[in-house]
């Protein structure tokens, strides 16, 4: 297999690309450059939120596709490519039901600047 056979590389972040301290090893960036030089797309995939991933890969964030929130939110160069979200009305109903039953339900609503919580 050669670089010309590869079109895209996707990797999980925690425990794969990141070490136990949630840091990227310095050897990543030369490898990343080599991938880019060969026209290979790099995807950072994680259950984490996009803003956390973008901060972690800030040095190359405009060259990375982010598949965040277990793939439900995909972003490239701050453009939302894919969003798979729960309907806000269903979320509101769940919150009302949980309050009526004295159960705690955490709702995370994505906004451009981060997350807000109910």
Supply 23's token pair.
């840091």
pLDDT for the residue 2: 81
Predicted confidence at residue 74, as pLDDT, reads 97
The whole-number pLDDT of residue 58 equals 95
CB 12 within 8 Å of CB 48:
no
Nearest alpha-carbon partner for 43 in 76, 15, 21, 20 = 76
Q: What is the pLDDT of residues 82-103, one digit of tens each?
A: 988 777 788 788 888 888 887 7
Alpha-carbon distance of 76 to 30, in angstroms, equals 21
Q: Which CATH architecture has domain 3-84?
A: 3-Layer(aba) Sandwich (3.40)
CA distances from 48 to 4, 22, 89 (A): 31, 12, 24
Please give the chain's pLDDT, 118 residues, in tens.
787 899 999 999 988 899 888 889 889 999 999 999 999 999 999 999 999 999 999 999 999 999 999 999 999 999 999 988 777 788 788 888 888 887 766 655 555 444 445 5
User: Nearest-5° angle of CA 34, CA 39, CA 40?
Assistant: 75
Q: What is the pLDDT of residue 97?
A: 87
Give the CA angle between residues 95, 101, 107 to the nearest 5°.
Answer: 20
CA angle 26, 29, 31 (to 5 degrees): 115
CB-CB contact of 11 with 43 (8 Å):
yes
Task: Please name the residues in contact with 33: beta carbons below 8 A apart, sequence gap of 6 or more.
Answer: none
At 57 the pLDDT is 95
Residues forming the active site: 12
Q: Tell me where in the chain the CATH 3.40.50.1000 domain(s) lie.
A: 3-84
pTM greater than 0.85 (yes/no): no
């Amino acid at each position: 297999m050669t670089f010309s056979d590869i079109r895209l590389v996707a990797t999980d972040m925690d425990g794969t690309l990141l070490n136990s301290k949630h840091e990227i090893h310095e050897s990543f960036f030369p490898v990343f450059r080599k991938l880019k030089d060969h026209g290979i797309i790099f995807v950072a995939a994680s259950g984490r939120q996009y803003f956390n991933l973008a901060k972690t890969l800030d040095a190359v964030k405009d060259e990375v596709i982010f598949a965040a929130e277990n793939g439900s939110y995909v972003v490239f160069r701050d453009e939302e490519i894919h969003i798979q979200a729960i309907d806000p009305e269903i979320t509101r109903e769940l919150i009302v039901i949980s309050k009526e039953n004295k159960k705690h339900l955490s709702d995370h609503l994505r906004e451009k600047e981060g997350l807000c919580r109910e």
